[in-house]
Amino acid sequence: MRIFFLDDDHNRIQAFLAWLQQSQITFTTLVVVVDFQEASNVLQSAAKFDVVFLDHDIADESKKQNGFVTTYGWSAFTGADVARVIAGLSDHRKPGTAIVHSWNPDGAANIIDILDKANIKRIIRWPFNPQHFEAIEKFIK
């Protein structure tokens, strides 16, 4: 299984990585990205991902220091823009499963709408919560 994970919160990334290592999910590739440009480059150049995890609100990298937002400022790009990149992929390169883990309800709904129109077959909204990792594991398998 090839997994793509977009989030700019390093605590979430660490929690996700810790869960994935102890889970029963067998994966061959894991790519973690923190911004739109990196996400776009990976999605357009790498082989197909089976599962993508998408956050919506992505902090501007120029506002970060040591991985944390130091002043308020969001990127001009969001997880919805990453969803548009996915939607633009050829059908044989689109992921089969998308998990939208944003806490932003409007942003998450926008991502889901974009992915649904792009014919992503399995989409779930899951506001990031480590207590629900077991349910996500069942959904992925």
Q: Is residue 69 part of a domain?
A: no
Full-prediction pTM beyond 0.95? Answer: no
**Interacting residues of 97 by C-beta distance below 8 A, sequence separation 6+:** 50, 51, 52, 120, 121, 122, 123, 139, 140
Q: Distance (Å, rounded) from C-alpha 7 to C-alpha 35? A: 7
pLDDT tens digits, one per residue of 12-39:
999 999 999 999 999 999 999 998 899 9
Residue 62 lies in a domain: no
**74 pLDDT band (50/70/90 cuts)?**
low
Number of Cα atoms under 13 Å in the Cβ half of residue 57: 12
Containing domain of residue 31, as a range?
2-7+16-57+77-140
116 belongs to a structural domain: yes
Burial environment of residue 12 by CB neighbours within 10 A (0 to 12, 13 to 18, 19 or more): middle
Q: Under DSSP, is residue 32 helix (H, G, I), strand (E, B) or coil?
A: strand
Query: How many domains, the chain?
Result: 1
- 18-23 contacts at long range (C-beta below 8 A, 24 or more positions apart): 19/130, 19/133, 23/133, 23/137
Does some domain include residue 96?
yes
> What is the CATH classification number for the domain harbouring 25?
3.40.50.2300
What pLDDT does residue 140 have?
A: 86
